[in-house]
Amino acid sequence: MSYLAKNYNRKKISFIRGKGSYLYTSNQIKYLDFVQGIAVNSLGHANPKLVKAIRDQSKKLWHVSNAFQIPEGEKLAKKLCQKTFADYVMFQNSGAEATEAAIKVARRYFYSIGKPNKNRILCIKNSFHGRTIAAIYASGSKKMTEGFGPKIPGFDHINFRDTKPRFLNLKNKIKKNTAAIMVETILGEGGIKLIPDKCLKYLRKICNQKKILLILDEVQCGIGRSGNFFAFEQSKVKPDIVPIAKGIGGGFPIGAVLMNKKVAAGMTPGTHGSTFGGNPLAMAVGNSVIDIVSSKKFLDNVKKLSKYFFIKLNGLKEKYPNIIKEIRGRGLLIGIKLYKDQTKFIQKLMDNKLLTIRAAENVVRVLPPLNVKKNELDQALKIINKVCSEF
């Protein structure tokens, strides 16, 4: 009997300990964890540097109100700005809060320049921006919104197509009252679908032409996951607002909104807040994560591991052309798209002690920690090969 609400269909397994890429059950059964809390534990389990950061900070100060200065947060915000397009940062606690805060920043900007009616956000149909009331209507997915009406107004949708043009009639979808386009640079829950660089550039161009804002949701694909610090960096596109979360905390709940100077001007004192957002404990961990993940050497290694893994996975696709349809993604954000429903496949991988997780469109999501070792990738490949051969 569980007293937890049944909003999750949980697997009947639990873990008591983790180390790097591995998880251990109470009877010491070892699993290769290529879920990592869904791209959250960017540096694996119980990373010594993160353990030290949280331990040291926990002895000093856990929480103070944002009514006071928080030096640890100042430090992390400075690093995030110096390494990216951003001029300012607002800390939150989760991805959904970060995407909603991103929407608030966009709307507030137009309000502050005397255009309060310019407040609609154009999103991709069936994308994912979190589970809060506004975020589910931003996603526009029937499954997520069903039963949670009344519908939150202010969102329009466009389909992201598998064929060119990726966005049909984009210009017509932008109305007089559109404030921003908000998309995930790489659609995560939606099946690890990349928005091609050319397409991102096109989005930026249209936003400039129409004088609207570009919000790139990097909650899942950001913080080194794609092999760049942000996934959009490869396209050289500069967004206006970027919500982040998952990987930046390495397992500790942190969310944030990064923004440029122009839009930040609207966020005057009292316009937004968060009790926990940016507290010293969270910031201590965030600072440790970014120091490791943002180094060129670290990111080059992610790219190198990714290249190797993709070559091998594509080899398996050729070996099992009736099972694997496509290998998708970038960096260590990887989707194995199957021809059939992936549930059984994921179960078989788990029976062989490899943990993965589903995404839409029959995709098996594979999310190793960013500091995964090559021999761990080999071990996963061996298990995937075995499961394919028995399928």
Ligand X SMILES: *Cc1c(COP(=O)(O)O)cnc(C)c1O
Residue count at the site for ligand X (CB under 6 A)? 15
> Among 246, 252, 337, 345, which one carries the catalytic annotation?
246
Q: Is 128 a catalytic residue?
A: yes
By the rule CB under 6 A, 286 interacts with ligand X: no
Residue 47 CA to residue 172 CA, distance in Å, equals 49
The dihedral region occupied by 236, where left means phi > 0, alpha psi between -120 and 50, and beta the remainder, is: left
- Closer to ligand X by CB, 184 or 376: give it: 184
DSSP summary character for residue 3: -
DSSP string of 226-276, one letter each residue: TSSSSGGGGGT---SEEEE-GGGGBTB--EEEEE-HHHHTT--TTS---SS
Q: What phi and psi, each to the nearest 5 degrees, are found at residue 169?
A: 55, 40
Shortest distance (Å) from residue 132 CB to ligand X? 7
Residue 286 CA to residue 208 CA, distance in Å, equals 33
Q: Is 217 a catalytic residue?
A: yes
SS3 179: strand
- Closer to ligand X by CB, 251 or 324: give it: 251
By the rule CB under 6 A, 122 interacts with ligand X: no
By the rule CB under 6 A, 129 interacts with ligand X: yes
Q: Is 246 a catalytic residue?
A: yes
- Closer to ligand X by CB, 217 or 233: give it: 217
The first and second tokens of residue 83, run together, are 């390494």
The first and second tokens of residue 164, run together, are 């060119």
The first and second tokens of residue 84, run together, are 């990216």
In sequence order, what are the residues at sequence separation of 6 or more whose Cβ sits closer than 8 angstroms to the Cβ of residue 305? 332, 368, 372, 374, 377
- Chain positions 36 to 95 lying near ligand X, rule: CB under 6 A, are 94-95
Residue 180 CA to residue 175 CA, distance in Å, equals 10
Burial (0-12, 13-18, 19+ Cβ within 10 Å), 188: buried
> Among 155, 217, 252, 276, which one carries the catalytic annotation?
217
Binds ligand X (CB under 6 A): choice among 33, 72, 100, 184 = 184
Stretch of residues binding ligand X (CB under 6 A), selected from 13-21, 128-136, 149-157, 382-390? 128-136
By the rule CB under 6 A, 278 interacts with ligand X: no
- Closer to ligand X by CB, 95 or 227: give it: 95
Helix, strand, coil distribution of the chain in percent, nearest 5: 40, 20, 40
Residue 29 CA to residue 23 CA, distance in Å, equals 8
Q: What is the dihedral of CA 275, 277, 280, 284, to 10 degrees?
A: 160
By the rule CB under 6 A, 100 interacts with ligand X: no
- Chain positions 204 to 223 lying near ligand X, rule: CB under 6 A, are 217, 219-220
Shortest distance (Å) from residue 22 CB to ligand X? 23
- Chain positions 328 to 347 lying near ligand X, rule: CB under 6 A, are none
Stretch of residues binding ligand X (CB under 6 A), selected from 122-130, 191-199, 288-296, 320-328? 122-130
- Closer to ligand X by CB, 101 or 384: give it: 101
Binds ligand X (CB under 6 A): choice among 50, 80, 86, 96 = 96
- Closer to ligand X by CB, 285 or 387: give it: 285
Residues near ligand X (CB under 6 A) are 94-96, 99, 128-130, 184, 188-189, 217, 219-220, 245-246
Give the residue numbers marked as catalytic: 128, 217, 246
